C-alpha cells in the first residue's frame, strides 16, 4: 500500500477500519517530504515531533472507535495562519522568529478533530504575490515541472498536495491565492464565501478580502475539510453566524436541470487559446450532463483588477503598519532615534513586493487622493457585486477560467509586476464580491501542464459548487 497516494476519504476509511495507524501514515508522509521537498520546496518548516505526538493521540482515539473524518490525517498549513508553539513567519524576515501565543480558529478546529500537522507551507511574503517567488526563504517549484512556478500566494499549499507531501493543506485567498496555485498544480482549491471561515489568527493582508480555505486532491476531500473549518467565531466580527450543515450532503445529487453562465468578459483578449478551449470543453461536458449554459455579461468586470489592487493595497498599508520594530517581529540593530528605527526596520524586514503594495496603498489613502482612488474602487466594488447578483437571478453557478495561462517559468514575470497582476484578472472579482468559488482541473496544455476551471456561486452556495464540481470530476 502506498499511503501517500490515498485520498483523504480513502485514508480516513483505513484509519477508522484499523488497517493503518496515524503514526504509520505520518511517518510515510515525512519520508515522502524528505525524499522530494528538497526539490519542490513546499514547506518552510516541519513540525515532526509535534506531528508524531498528535498521531499517537489520534491512534488512541481511533482505537476507541471514536474520531471524525480528519482524525489522524496528516495535513499542512500556510505560514500566515497562527500555530501556537510553531513559528508563523508569513515567509517574511519581519516575522521570522514570531512564535504565536495562540492558535488560529482553523488551527483550533484541526486540533479538536485530532488532525496531524506536518508543518508550515511556503508562500509569497505576507500573501502578496502570484508565484511564491516572493518568499524571504525559498522559491517553491511546480511538481509538474520544476522550472515553473506553482502559483501563489498559497504556492506551498498547492505544491504539497500535488506532490503528495500532505493529504490536504489550508491556504488563504485574498484575490485568488488558493484557486490560482491549485489550477497551476492540478489540484482542487476552494475559496469559501467571505465570513464562512473565521479569519481569527490569520495574519491580515486585506481584511475585507482574505478568506481561509482548503487545497485538496479532489472535490470530496475539499468538502470534508470545509465541514471542519466552517462556522461562527465570536472573536471575529466578520464571521457569519449561520447554520452551515454538511457540505457533502447533496454532493452526489447530480446537476441535471441546473443553469450555468459563461461571462464573455472571462473569454476575451489575453487568454491562452488552450485554456479557453479547455474551459469551453468543460462547459460542453456540463451541458451533456443536463446543465443549461448561457452566455452573459458583467460590464463592470474590466474595472475589477484595478479596483482590487487599490482596495487590497490600501488595506495592506493599514494592516502592516503594526510591524514597526517596537512591539514584536524584526527590529533593526543600529538606529539613532525612533524615526530611524521605523525606517530601517521596515526597509530591512519587508521584501520588494510588500513595500510596493504598502507605498501604493499609502498613496491611495493620502489626502487629496482618497476620493479619487479608494472611494472610487469601493464604488466599482458595488457595481461588481450587482453584476454578479444579476447573473445569479437566473443561474446556479458561473463557469470560467482560473487564470489566463498555465504555470509559467520561474523568473519569467518578476521584472514586470503589472503583467503578473494581470494574471489575477479572473479570480479577484470573486473576492471583491465576497463569493465562493472552486478551482479544479479541466485539462492540460500541449506540454502536459494543468489547466484549471473555476466555478463561482452566489453567497453561501458552496454545496451547489461542490455538487457541480463532484459531478464534473466523476462524469
Q: How confident is the model at residue 419 (pLDDT cuts 50, 70, 90)?
A: confident
| Segment 72-102, tens digit of pLDDT | 999 999 999 999 999 999 999 999 999 999 9
Q: Is the pLDDT of residue 141 over 90?
A: yes
- In degrees to the nearest 10, what's the CA dihedral of 234, 237, 243, 245? -90
Sign of CA dihedral 117, 123, 128, 129: negative
Q: Which residues are catalytic?
A: 78, 153, 177
The pLDDT value given to residue 262:
97
Q: Is the pLDDT of residue 268 over 90?
A: no
Q: Is the pLDDT of residue 418 over 90?
A: no
Q: Is the pLDDT of residue 414 over 90?
A: no
User: Over the chain, what HEC string results?
Assistant: CCHHHCCHHHHHHHHHCCCCCHHHHHHHHHHHHHHHHHHHCCEEEECHHHHHHHHHHHHHHHHCCCCCCCCCCEEEEECCECECCECCCCCCHHHCCCCCCCCCHHHHHHHHCCCEEEEEECCCHHHCCCCCCCCCCCCCCECCECCECCCCCCHHHHHHHHCCCCCEEEEEECCCCCHHHHHHHCCEEEECCCCCCCCCCECCCCCCCCEEEEEECCHHHHHHHHHHHCCCCCCCCCCCCCCCCCCCCCCCCCCCCCEEEEEHHHHCCCCCHHHHHHHHHHHHHHHHCCCEEEEECCHHHHHHHHHHHHHHHHHHHHHHHHCCCCCCCCCCCCCCCHHHHHHHHHHHHCCHHHHHHHHHHHHHHCCCCCHHHHHHHHHHHHHHHHHHHHHHCCCCEEEEECCCCCCCECCCCCCCHHHHHHCCCCCHHHHHHCCCEEEEEEEECCCCCEEEEEEECCCCCHHHHHHHHHHHHCC
Q: Is the pLDDT of residue 116 over 90?
A: yes
Mean pLDDT (whole number) for 135-149: 98
The pLDDT value given to residue 453:
98
User: Over 196-221, what HEC string results?
Assistant: CCCCCCECCCCCCCCEEEEEECCHHH
Report the CATH number that the domain containing residue 260 is assigned in CATH: 3.90.1300.10
Q: How confident is the model at residue 415 (pLDDT cuts 50, 70, 90)?
A: confident
As a 3-state breakdown, the chain gives helix, strand, coil percent values, each rounded to 5, of 45, 15, 45
| Segment 160-202, tens digit of pLDDT | 999 999 999 999 999 999 999 999 999 999 999 999 999 999 9
φ and ψ of 201, to 5 deg: 95, -5
Count of domains for the chain: 1
Task: Residue 334: give the domain boundaries.
Answer: 1-475
Amino acid at each position: 500500500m502506498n499511503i501517500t497516494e490515498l485520498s483523504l476519504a480513502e485514508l480516513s476509511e483505513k484509519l477508522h477500519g484499523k488497517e493503518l495507524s496515524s503514526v504509520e501514515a505520518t511517518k510515510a508522509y515525512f519520508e515522502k517530504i524528505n525524499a522530494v521537498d528538497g526539490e519542490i520546496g513546499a514547506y518552510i518548516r516541519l513540525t515532526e515531533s509535534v506531528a508524531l505526538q498528535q498521531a499517537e493521540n489520534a491512534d488512541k482515539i481511533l482505537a476507541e472507535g471514536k474520531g471524525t473524518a480528519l482524525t489522524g490525517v496528516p495535513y499542512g498549513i500556510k505560514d500566515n495562519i497562527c500555530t501556537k508553539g510553531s513559528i508563523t513567519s508569513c515567509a517574511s524576515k519581519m516575522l521570522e522568529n514570531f512564535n504565536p501565543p495562540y492558535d488560529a480558529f482553523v488551527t483550533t478546529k484541526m486540533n479538536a478533530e485530532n488532525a496531524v500537522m506536518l508543518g508550515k507551507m511556503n508562500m509569497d511574503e505576507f500573501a502578496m504575490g502570484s508565484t511564491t517567488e516572493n518568499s524571504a526563504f525559498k522559491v517553491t517549484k511546480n511538481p509538474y515541472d520544476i522550472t515553473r512556478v506553482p502559483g501563489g500566494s498559497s504556492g506551498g499549499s498547492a505544491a504539497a498536495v500535488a506532490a503528495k507531501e500532505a493529504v490536504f493543506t489550508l491556504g488563504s485567498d485574498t484575490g485568488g491565492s488558493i484557486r490560482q496555485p491549485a489550477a497551476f498544480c492540478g489540484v482542487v482549491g476552494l475559496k469559501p464565501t467571505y465570513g464562512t471561515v473565521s479569519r481569527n489568527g490569520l495574519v491580515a493582508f486585506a481584511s475585507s478580502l482574505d478568506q481561509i480555505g482548503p487545497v485538496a486532491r479532489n472535490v470530496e476531500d475539499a468538502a470534508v475539510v470545509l465541514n471542519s473549518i466552517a462556522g461562527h467565531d465570536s472573536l471575529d466580527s466578520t464571521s457569519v453566524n449561520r447554520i452551515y450543515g454538511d457540505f457533502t450532503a447533496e454532493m452526489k445529487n447530480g446537476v441535471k436541470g441546473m443553469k450555468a453562465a459563461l461571462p464573455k468578459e472571462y473569454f476575451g483578449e489575453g487568454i491562452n487559446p488552450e485554456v479557453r478551449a479547455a474551459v469551453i470543453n468543460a462547459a460542453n461536458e456540463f451541458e451533456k450532463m443536463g446543465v443549461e449554459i448561457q452566455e452573459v455579461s458583467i460590464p463592470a468586470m474590466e474595472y475589477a483588477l484595478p479596483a482590487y489592487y487599490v482596495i487590497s493595497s490600501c488595506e495592506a498599508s493599514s494592516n502592516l503598519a503594526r510591524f514597526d520594530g517596537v512591539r514584536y517581529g524584526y527590529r533593526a540593530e543600529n538606529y539613532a532615534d525612533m524615526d530611524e528605527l521605523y525606517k530601517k526596520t521596515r526597509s530591512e524586514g519587508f521584501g520588494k513586493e510588500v513595500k510596493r503594495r504598502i507605498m501604493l496603498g499609502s498613496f491611495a489613502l493620502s489626502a487629496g487622493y482618497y476620493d479619487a482612488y479608494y472611494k472610487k474602487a469601493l464604488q466599482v466594488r458595488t457595481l461588481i457585486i450587482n453584476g454578479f447578483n444579476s447573473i445569479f437571478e437566473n443561474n446556479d453557478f458561473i463557469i470560467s477560467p482560473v487564470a489566463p495561462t498555465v504555470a509559467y517559468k520561474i523568473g519569467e514575470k518578476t521584472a514586470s509586476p503589472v503583467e503578473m497582476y494581470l494574471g489575477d484578472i479572473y479570480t479577484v472579482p470573486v473576492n471583491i464580491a465576497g463569493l465562493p468559488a472552486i478551482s479544479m482541473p479541466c485539462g492540460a496544455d500541449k506540454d502536459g501542464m494543468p489547466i484549471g476551471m473555476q466555478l463561482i456561486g452566489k453567497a453561501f452556495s458552496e454545496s451547489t459548487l461542490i455538487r457541480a464540481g463532484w459531478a464534473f470530476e466523476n462524469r
